[in-house]
Amino acid sequence: MWKAHQIVIKKYSNPSVFLVSFNKDSDLYTGMQQGDNGQSLVLGGLNPDGTDSYNLLSDMCLRASMELKLIDPKINLRVHKNTDLSIYEKGTHLTKQGLGFPQYSNDDIIIPALCAWGYDEKDAFNYVVAACWEFIVPDVAMDIPNLGALSFTEAMLRALYSRNDWNGFEELMDCVHQQINIMAQELTDSVKNIYMEPSPLMYLLCKGCVQSGRDIGRGSKYNNYGIHGTGLSTAVDSLAAIKKYVFEEQSVTMEKLLAALENDFQGNEELLNKLRYSQWKMGNDIDEVDELACKLLDWFA
């Protein structure tokens, strides 16, 4: 007699068939995300004994993703200091397909971070990556990392429009910090009493729920809810431009900048191009700019 797992293995013995099955129902999102169901497949990773779990099946899935060029599932490669160079090389071939993945998750950083956050070590080693690249632990956790979102760009704009008589860039940054705190408090207040609808199926699949007689929203081992920080690079690029052109070079006044923003840069195309094509941006290996990103993230955390 065939056992259930044998049937599954026989049906999906070709990884391409398995990957295609992720796309049988592609109407979860409409508009620009149509066909993107937000499904993630994690390959490889460090085992507690120090070995790597990347194996033949992992390799087959990676190759199938390259051949099919499908949006789902998104491939996430768990890597560490001893990951073989050949795995990175295969990953770059998938990157060349232009799908926006694989993502590389550094076990040497993530596993200790999860332990510091309160996860048991054996659970931290079993982490996976959700569709928006958050780290979650299956089987024992009800982790929802995206209950809401704080926009760094919105915090910057709130600070900018609050006044225009800044005594220096650091004073502006202090105001941005205050706005992040205010927005974070607003968001946490809005979700602190959130109620999770019962899910009998998830209840059966999550360890601890049956034993405790409680639904997954209350009975799982971990219940960590989180809020996204969005628009980081946009906020950093904008703040870097303000620092350089308004406060350091003083080639643009704050009044002119705010007026241009109000009119979506109509009549100020020269200023728009100056800001848009400046190399003074995040990701260009400019420490002073990247430090702004670190500040925003530290304040958000």
What are the pLDDT digits (tens) for 236-276?
Answer: 999 999 999 999 999 999 999 999 999 999 999 999 988 88
Rg (CA), the chain: 23
Distance, in Å, from the CA atom of 282 to the CA atom of 122, rounded to the nearest integer, reads 36
CA distance 248 to 103: 37
Sign of CA dihedral 241, 243, 244, 246: positive
> What pLDDT band is residue 7 in, cutting at 50, 70 and 90?
very low
Q: What pLDDT does residue 39 have? A: 82
Across 292-298, average pLDDT: 95
Could you give the angle at the alpha carbon of 76 between the alpha carbons of 128 and 224, nearest 5°? 30
Q: Which amino acid is at 123?
A: D
Quick: pLDDT tens for 9-63.
444 457 788 777 777 766 655 555 555 677 888 999 999 998 999 999 899 989 9
Between residues 29 and 165, which one has the greater pLDDT? 165
Residue type at 30 in one-letter notation: T
Q: What are phi and psi of 128, to 5 degrees?
A: -130, 180
176-210 confidence digits (pLDDT tens): 999 999 999 999 888 878 777 888 888 888 888 88
Beta carbons of 206 and 142 less than 8 angstroms apart = yes
Q: Please say if the pLDDT value at position 5 is more than 60.
A: no
Using the predicted structure, report yes or no on whether residue 1 has a pLDDT greater than 50.
Answer: no
Q: What was the pLDDT predicted at 25?
A: 65
Query: What is the chain's mean pLDDT, rounded?
Result: 86
Number of neighbouring beta carbons within 10 Å of residue 100: 9
Q: What span, in angstroms and rounded, lies between the C-alpha atoms of 301 and 298?
A: 5
